[in-house]
Amino acid sequence: MKILVSGSRGLVGSSLVPFLQSKGHEVIRLVRGEQPRAGEILWHPAKRQLDSSQLEGFDAVVHLAGDNIASGRWTVAKKAAIRESRINGTKFLCETLASLKKPPEVIVSGSAIGYYGDRGNETLTESSTSGTGFLAEVCREWESAAAPARDAGIRVAYLRTGVVLSRKGGALAKMLPPFKLGMGGRLGAGTQYMSWVTLDDLCGIILHIISHREIQGPVNAVAPHAVTNQEFTVAFGHAINRPTIVPAPALAVHLLLGEMADELLLSGQLVKPEKLLKTGYDFQHPAVEQALRHAVSAS
């Protein structure tokens, strides 16, 4: 297939592109910049600049672009950047795809399990309602922004991603140094559920969605077995052979990171990948300790 990928320089995209190429697919990157290199198409979503003729004839689009939600405290400006980079960019891209003479068959558009909000020990599937909070609001608007593509008859899947396990970036990369020093521990009470997925599985999930025409709408991109933060902490310690006896009190985490900590670290969702399991996706890393061992050892 011929596949267009936005956000190709991020944690997921930088692994997804070579993964798709290794399966024999032609991948073109949709990037921001001034001078495109081979295999790239330029766009400027904030300025609504994109040569639509270059998008004709793709089989699939994977849209992952968006401001990093975990790169710092959520100031007013940061929250605006998170919202605008996802919603405005998605709407502009989907409007452009909808206008094509030969649009793609499918678009896999980024979202997150933040859609569900803080839900305690409630089991959440793709049919569960949205929750409350900043991330839930952003995810609802983010998914709604893909409506122009869906209305034009393009199959749209919303990739509700959990915590991505990779030493290359994201939460695990930030946790690894203190945990290796024996300074790791649970966050807050440790009872909040973490729904996670390895980077390898996330790449496989994206290709699975593209390849299965029956999959559309929200897709929970998480491993089948969510764990509490305490269980995750113990498994991480086992994976790197370090003690995990230094808990981080909820108040300290909140004072350090503010609202971002409240929604990303101290809240939780027990999410099940119902659509993936029903359509036969075979997880490479279904158990958290084995997944963590793989993630910290992967190059």
Per-residue pLDDT tens digits for 20-65: 999 999 999 999 988 889 999 999 999 999 999 999 999 999 999 9
pTM (two decimals): 0.96
19 pLDDT exceeds 90? yes
Higher pLDDT, 208 or 256: 208
Check residue 36 and give its pLDDT: 85
Per-residue pLDDT tens digits for 152-161: 999 999 999 9
Check residue 242 and give its pLDDT: 95
Per-residue pLDDT tens digits for 95-112: 999 999 999 999 999 999
**Residue 299 banded pLDDT, cuts 50, 70, 90:** low
81-93 average pLDDT score: 96
Check residue 153 and give its pLDDT: 97
Per-residue pLDDT tens digits for 242-258: 999 999 999 988 888 89
Contact 84, 103 (CB under 8 A): no
Per-residue pLDDT tens digits for 257-272: 899 889 889 999 999 9
* Domain 2-297, CATH homologous superfamily name and number: NAD(P)-binding Rossmann-like Domain (3.40.50.720)
Per-residue pLDDT tens digits for 174-184: 899 999 999 99
Query: pLDDT averaged over the chain?
Result: 95
